[in-house]
Structure 1
Amino acid sequence: MNNLINDNLYKTRNDLIKEIALLSDDQFNSKLDINSWTIAQVCHHLVLVEESSIKAIAWGLKEIESTQNERKKVDLILLDRTKKIKAPKIVEPDVKPFEVQQIIDLLNESRKKLMTFLSTIEDKSVLAEKSVKHPALGELPLDQWIEQIYLHEQRHIEQIKEIKLLLDARQ
């Protein structure tokens, strides 16, 4: 895996932790309205996406068929927040409240699992050769599955910033 992806995973996760670390548990679990997620739920969703991505990449690596597909402009799709993307059931967050530290621990665990898993892949070039269908992005090369983790996180960091502003405005 190249250093740019590693750096982006690291930087984006640090940015996320900075956004949530100083929130009270009340702020963390406050809903703007009945149909929106709390900041805690957004973060739980990110944990679930990271864990699901590991499973998808592992599954794709086991496939014998090499289904090289064209590369997508994942950044343009994921960073465009004017287009709503419905979360598949498997990555919908829990409705129960979370503590900030509890979510930080879950985020750290999922990232450790990802990095450990990626370190076990001997021939990283295979990541660009095999693909798996992504629920929102369609058929996606495995290396772009890794890329979508931090891009998806960047998308939700912007959402968290908006939620924080709106929560502040209500007080």
Structure 2
Amino acid sequence: MNPLINDHLRETRNTLVKEIELLSDRQLNDKPDLKSWSIAQICHHLALVEESSVKAIAWGLNQEDSKQTERKNVHLIVDRTKKMTAPKIVEPAEDLFTVQQIIEMLNDSRKKLTTFLDTIEDKSILAEKSVKHPALGELPLDQWVEQIYLHEQRHIVQILEIKMCFEVEH
């Protein structure tokens, strides 16, 4: 894998964990309003997206007819002015979570991603095959990996906005 993408994955995840690790479980699970997700749900969604991305990449690698497609501007995913609806498969649970559960969930999904990527001997194949992404359309597999940390960055901004609401309330 591109070392820069590995760095971005690591740095973004470290930023995410720093933003949530000192929250109380109540802060983690409080919703800013009835239509919004809690920070716990955002993190659950991120873990689900990471796991489903691994499945999509694996599926794309196994497709004989998967072909190279044009590269997309995956950085568009960071733009929070563009509202996106999460596909059902990556919608978070309504459950209450502890901070520790969420961190373990994030660690588990990242371990699945890195373990999977380590099994790919020739990483260049990731640029040669593609799979349809729910928000971005047909996407090269290496850009599926890239969108994981960009998507996380998008939601870190959302988490910061929610944390600002806590500060205003108290």
Shorter-normalised TM-score: what interval?
over 0.9
CA distances 1:47-95 after superposition (whole Å, capped 9, x unpaired):
00000000000000001114111000001x1111100110000000000
Q: Which residue of 2 aligns with 1:45?
A: 45
- CA contact 2:66–2:131 (8 Å) conserved in 1: no
Q: Is the 8 A contact 2:12 2:149 kept in 1?
A: yes
Look up the equivalent residue of 1:164 and give its one-letter code.
Answer: K
Query: Deviation at 1:170?
Result: 1.8
What per-residue deviation string (whole Å, max 9, x for no partner) do you get for residues 21-52 of structure 1?
00000000001111000000000000000000
Give the partner amino acid of 2:125. V
Contact 2:61 2:126 (8 Å CA) reproduced? yes
Matches within 5 A, 1:2-17: 2-17=2-17
Residue in structure 2 matched with residue 135 of structure 1 by the alignment: 134
**Percent identity between the two aligned chains:** 70
Q: Secondary structure of the equivalent of 2:150?
A: helix
Cα distance between partner residues in 1 of 2:13 and 2:32: 24
The equivalent residue for 1:68 is 68
Show structure 1 runs of 5+ residues with no match.
Answer: none
Question: What is the CA–CA distance in structure 2 between the aligned matches of 1:88 and 1:158, rounded to whole Å?
Answer: 20
Alignment-derived partner of residue 21 in structure 2:
21
Q: Which runs of 4+ in 1 moved over 6 A?
A: none
SS of 2:43's equivalent in the other structure is helix
Find the aligned partners of 1:135 and 1:107 in 2 and give their Cα distance: 21
Aligned counterparts of 1:33 and 1:23: Cα–Cα separation in 2: 18
Aligned pairs, how many? Answer: 170
Q: Name the amino acid aligned to 1:21.
A: E
Structure 2 gaps of 5+ residues are none
TM-score, with length taken from structure 2: 0.99
